[in-house]
A and B are shown apart, each in its own frame.
Chain A
Amino acid sequence: MILELKNIQAFYGNLQVLKGVTIKINEGEIIALIGANGAGKTTTLMSVCGVVPPRFGEIYFMDKPIHNMSPDKIVALGISQVPEGRRIFPLLSVMENLDMGAFLRKDKAGIKQDLEYVFELFPVLAERRHQSGGTLSGGEQQMLAISRAIMARPKLLLLDEPSLGLAPLIVKQIFEIIRKFNTESGTTIFLVEQNANLALKTADRGYVMETGSITIQDTTKNLLKNEEVKKAYLGL
C-alpha cells in the first residue's frame, strides 16, 4: 500500500469537514474520488499534503506516518498535487513554473530528462516556455499544472478536478495523457473529479464521498453498474 488514510477528521476552525475518512491506495493504481460540491474532496487532498492537517486519524505514506509533517517534508517524500483551479504562478514563465515543480530536486540530469518528457507529453508548453504562466489558456494552464507536478518526479500524484472548466476535446486529451503517464511511469494517481463518468472510466477503483464520509467504495467496473452511483452521479 502506498497511501493509507485511517479514519481522518479535518476541520476549518470549528467546522468539521471530514468525518472519519478511510482510503487505501495501492502502488501503481489510479484511484478516483467522486462526490458532490462541498463533500470534502479537496480537503481530503489538502490533508494528505499537510496543508489542512487532520485533527484526528492517521495518514501513512509507504508505511510512514505523515499526518504531523509540514507540506514541504511531504512533497520531499514524493507526493505532488495538481490543485483545484490549477494555481499556476501567474508571473513566472512556463519554464520557471516547471522549475518550481522540481524545487526540491538536486539531480540535474534527471530534471532535464523529465523536462524533455513533459515537453513530449505537451508540446505546446515547449513553444510557450518563455511566456508567463498567467497568459496561457485554461487548457494550457492545466497542462502546465500537471507538468509542474510531474517535474517533482512523484511517487503519488494527486489530481483535483483536472477537467474543471475545460472544453470536452481538451479534457479527453488530458485524461488520455494522465492514463499514459500512469502506464509509462507506474506513478500512482489519486484523482478527484466531479465528472464521475470520466473519472470512473479512467480509474481502477473508486470512492464516493458524501458530506465528509465515504459512502461507497468498489472497483470502477462495479461502480459504473451501481444503481445508486448511476442515479446520483452518472445522471442515468
Chain B
Amino acid sequence: MDWLYFLELFLSGLTKGSIYALIALGYTMVYGIIQLINFAHGEVYMIGAFTGLIVASILTLLGLNTLSILLLASMAAIIYSAAYGFTIEKIAYKPLRQAPRLSPLISAIGMSIFLQNYVMIAQTSDFMPFPSLIPDFEFMEPYAHIIGSPELVIILTTMVVMIFLTVLIKFTRIGKAMRATAQDKGMAMLVGVNIDRVISMTFIIGTALAAVGGILTACHVGQINFYIGFLAGLKAFTAAVLGGIGSIPGAVLGGLVLGLTESFGTGYISSDYEDVFAFTLLILILIFRPAGILGRSTTQKV
C-alpha cells in the first residue's frame, strides 16, 4: 500500500470535510432551535465568498499585503453574511413561526432562489477568479507534496472555530440560553430568555461560520460564481443529516466523514463519481441509523 498517497487523500478529505463541517454547523444549529432547514444557508456561504472577492480586490488595489487582505476580507465577509443571516430570519422565517411547518420551508427555498438570482444579476453569471490569499508558507515547503498551505490553513482554522464554538455553547450565558431554547422554548421564555434574540444569535453565528467556509474554499479553489452555494449547501446539509441533524458534534463528524469518503472514493475508485459517493453514504447511513450517526437520542441538540 502506498502510504504517502493514502496520507495525501486523508488530508485532502480532511480539508473538504472541514469546509462541510463549517457550513453544516449553520444548518444543524438553526434546526436545533426552530426545526427549520434553512435552505438559504448555502447562499449565505456564496455571498460570503463574493464579499471576500470584492473587498480583496479593493484592498489589492490599495496595495496591502496578502495576509492582511485575507484577514480584512474574511472579517468583512463574516459581518456581511451574518447581517444576511439575521435579515433572512427576520423577513422570511419569523413571520411564519406560528404557520404550518411547510410554509417556512417553502419560504426558505424561495429565499435561496432569490439570493442566487440577485447575485447573478448584481454580479455576473460567469465564474470569477478568486485571488489566492493564503500564501505558501516557507516552513511548509518540505511537505508540499502531501499538503499545501491553503489546506493546512483550512484545517487549522476549522479546528480553532470548533473549539471557540464549543466553549461558547457550553459555558457562556448565550450558549446556555441556546441549549435551553432548543430543549423547551416555552420554558426558556418562563425563565426570562428572549427567544427572538436567541434565534437571531443562532442565525448570526451559523452564517458567520458559513462565510468563513466561503472565503477559505474560494481561496483554495480559485474561482466562484453565484451557483457555488447550491452544491456546497447540499453537501453540508447531507453532512448535517449524516451526523444527526440538531447535533453540533454530529455536524462536525458528518462533515469529516463525508469529506473523507469523497476523497478516498475518488482516490481509490474513480474520480468521476465524487457526488455519488456522498449520496450513497447518506442513503446507507439513513437506512441503518435513521437519526444520523450521533442522532438525537444520544446527544445534545445545540
Contacts and interface: CB of A to CB of B under 8 A. Distances in A.
B179 interface: yes
Nearest to B179: A92
Given A83-B187, A89-B183, A89-B184, A71 B192 contact: yes
Interface stretch (A98-106, A113-121, A176-184, A194-202): A98-106
A230 B244 CA distance: 54
Contacts of A100: 176-177, 180, 188, 191, 193
User: Secondary structure at chain B's binding surface: helix, strand, loop or mixed?
Assistant: helix
A75 B191 contact: yes
A72 B187 contact: no
A71 B190 contact: yes
A103 B191 contact: yes
Contacts of A140: none
A91 B186 contact: no
Given A91-B301, A92-B176, A96-B176, A101 B191 contact: yes
Contacts of B191: 75, 80, 100-101, 103-104, 148, 152
Contacts, number: 62
B156 interface: no
Interface in A57-93: 70-72, 75-76, 80-81, 83, 87, 89-92
A51 B189 contact: yes
Contacts of B190: 49, 51, 71, 75, 80-81, 83, 87
Interface in A27-44: none
A103 B198 CA distance: 13
A101 B180 CA distance: 11
Contact of A103 (B183, B193, B300): B193
B194 interface: yes
Interface in A170-193: none
Interface residues of A, number: 23
Contact of A91 (B183, B187, B189, B193): B183
B169 to A, nearest CB: 12
A72 B179 contact: no
Contacts of A87: 184, 186-187, 190
Contacts of A104: 191-192
A75 B179 contact: no
Contacts of B188: 100
B192 A89 contact: no
B194 A70 contact: yes
Contacts of A92: 176, 179-180, 183
A89 B193 contact: no
Interface in B164-202: 173, 176-177, 179-180, 183-184, 186-194
Contacts of A90: 183
B173 to A, nearest CB: 8
Interface of A: 49, 51, 70-72, 75-76, 80-81, 83, 87, 89-92, 96, 99-101, 103-104, 148, 152
